[in-house]
Chains A and B, each alone.
Chain A
Amino acid sequence: MALDQEQNFQAKIDAEDKIEPKDWMPEAYRKNLIRQISQHAHSEVIGMQPEGNWITRAPSLRRKAVLLAKVQDEGGHGLYLYSTAETLGITREEMINALQDGSAKYASIFNYPAQTWADVGAIGWLVDGAAIVNQVSLQRTSYGPYSRSMVRICKEESFHQRQGYELMLTLCRGSEAQKAMAQDALNRFYWPSLMMFGPHDSESAHSASSMKWKIKRETNDYLRQKFIDQTAPQIEFLGLEHPDKNLIWNEERGHFEGSELDWDEFKRVIHGDGHCNRQRVQHHIKAHEEGAWVREALVRYKQKKKLKAA
């Protein structure tokens, strides 16, 4: 029986049919998805912090409004993805607990500090940009609800990327100081953006089963290459120096080739040595704890209202 179910399930996947919440699925598939989708949701929510930290200092009212709307979108993505994960039989509360006790992860890029106003541009352009490359491929993921949320989210992410790039372009066409700020932001965010695609395929812990079940559709290295290729001309158009001094165009392969990434640094930051690891989680916990009495009041109010109606 179980074998039939498993064969049936894999046949569906192979035929590019979507798996829906009520369909039978292997426990490992469910777990894998919960891990990936909740991590994605947490990334959206934790990602509100580095940029949110600039809302009160945005240098024009237009930028302030755009940034507010962007951060709001990210929170909306978080909500949407939490609901997507909930279709797999986990509650938002459980996911938030896992984020706060450290057993669930979020994208390590948000452990890097947003130090200057140009970082807001670099994050929109590079971080949202890298996220899109990944998420476009996930539009074809095998789990129906996740696939549909990616379609919806990608539209907003490309908007964010264009706004981030436009912010960088404005700085690059501005004063020397503004351009230097843009260069500095690019230098700091370029490498961690490339690391957003995860370790090399040969090193990736989750890749094999994720590919077989079509949770992932493209490999880490393939997606990273795509991002390197799309970013190089964008850097040139800004008139900035490419942070990778070894970058060359390989005519034969039709791709850019650059330096090997500093994977030791990648691991150090993931495992807690980033500037903001503790800060991000503590910020989340603090807001959550400070909001406890509000959530209690809401529950109590609803109970009282129900009692009154009955």
Chain B
Amino acid sequence: MAEVNKQAIQDYATRLGDDAVVIGHRVSEWCSKGPFLEEDLALQNVALDFIGRARMFYSYAAELANDGRKEDDFAYMRDHREYQNLLLMELPRGDFAYTMVRQLLVDVFNLYYLEQLQQSSDETLSAIAGKAIKETRYHLRRSSEWVLRLGLGTEESKKRAQTALDDLWGFTHEMFDLDALEQQLADAGIGVDNTSLQAAWTTQVKSILEEATLIPPEDEWKVKGGREGYHTEFLGQMLNEMQCVHRANPGLEW
């Protein structure tokens, strides 16, 4: 029983690492392409936080695996079919509105998610959540402020923000699903019960959207599959790029 749990926690930490590294990578693609220098640097800050978060989750997964693998083996030596990040994280960076609206959706989710993960009976997961939640509060201040600016700014910015929201909304539903692994860990007081986050997430997101005069899309459109490794075409391309140097000469120190 204890062994089964260890594997489950390892898998759980790995997928949380996947979420963080994938969204971190997407945000890092903004480097030198931001709308102005201050914002360029702020985006890099956010990317850095997510990469740091991925390293903590993967290191923990490696520690649990105890088979000689290290954090980079999790990030660089697994194929996109093995990655279990939420689809929302892997979508291309798009324009600035797309990035910021996605950040809002992700940040509000992370806020409630990490609050619960902090209560985990697993000390390491709880500690990672404790560190990450501070960053997430800062991320959310930024993304919610930006969504307001875009929604209330010019006609063009509002249109772009609304388009982004329409294109992203269908990918938010899988954030609140619970598969067998997550159910098992939630029952054991180790993992988060995602289903319990949906009401608070919806309320908060909708209230920010309302203030920004953006219209929440209808809920009919739902795309799912990230936790099963059933990804969009974009993740494979992203990982090809991310992993190319590491894999060209495998097994080396960098």
A: which residues have CB within 8 A of B? Answer: 45, 48-49, 52, 55-65, 68-69, 71-72, 75-76, 78-79, 82, 117, 170-171, 173-175, 177-178, 283, 286-287, 290-298, 300-301, 304
Contact = CB atoms under 8 A, between A and B. Distances in A.
Nearest to A48: B32
B48 interface: yes
Given A64-B51, A79-B41, A301-B152, A287 B253 contact: no
Interface in B14-42: 21, 25, 28-29, 31-41
Interface residues of B, number: 48
Nearest to B70: A60
Given A62-B55, A175-B249, A295-B35, 20 more contacts: A45-B32, A56-B29, A59-B246, A60-B76, A61-B58, A61-B71, A61-B72, A69-B48, A71-B31, A71-B32, A71-B44, A75-B40, A75-B44, A79-B37, A178-B252, A290-B33, A293-B154, A294-B35, A301-B148, A301-B153
Closest 3 CB pairs of A and B: A291-B35, A297-B153, A297-B157
A82 B21 CA distance: 33
A177 B249 CA distance: 8
Contacts of B224: none
Contacts of B190: none
Nearest to B54: A61
Interface in B60-112: 71-72, 75-76, 95-96
A300 B44 contact: no
Interface of B: 21, 25, 28-29, 31-41, 44-45, 47-48, 51-52, 54-55, 58, 71-72, 75-76, 95-96, 148-150, 152-154, 156-157, 160, 241-242, 244-246, 249, 252-254
B144 to A, nearest CB: 13
Contacts of A294: 35-36, 39, 96, 150, 157
A68 B252 contact: no
Given A61-B71, A72-B41, A291-B96, A56 B241 contact: yes
A294 B34 CA distance: 10
Nearest to A92: B37
Nearest to B21: A61
A64 B41 CA distance: 15
A57 B36 contact: no
B249 A61 contact: no
For B32, B33, B157, B253, the residue with the greatest tally of chain A CB atoms inside 10 Å of its CB is B32
Contacts of A291: 34-36, 39, 96
Nearest to A47: B32
A82 B51 CA distance: 29
A208 B213 CA distance: 60
B150 A174 contact: no
Contact of A57 (B39, B41, B153, B245): B245
A61 B51 contact: yes
Contacts of B54: 61
A31 B166 CA distance: 51
Contacts of A48: 31-32, 40
For A48, A60, A177, the residue with the greatest tally of chain B CB atoms inside 10 Å of its CB is A60
Contacts of A69: 44, 48
A68 B51 contact: yes
A298 B149 contact: yes
A65 B48 contact: yes
A106 B74 CA distance: 40
B241 A57 contact: yes
For B38, B245, B254, the residue with the greatest tally of chain A CB atoms inside 10 Å of its CB is B254
Contacts of A63: 254
For A61, A63, A283, the residue with the greatest tally of chain B CB atoms inside 10 Å of its CB is A61
A170 B253 contact: yes
A300 B154 CA distance: 6
B44 A68 contact: yes
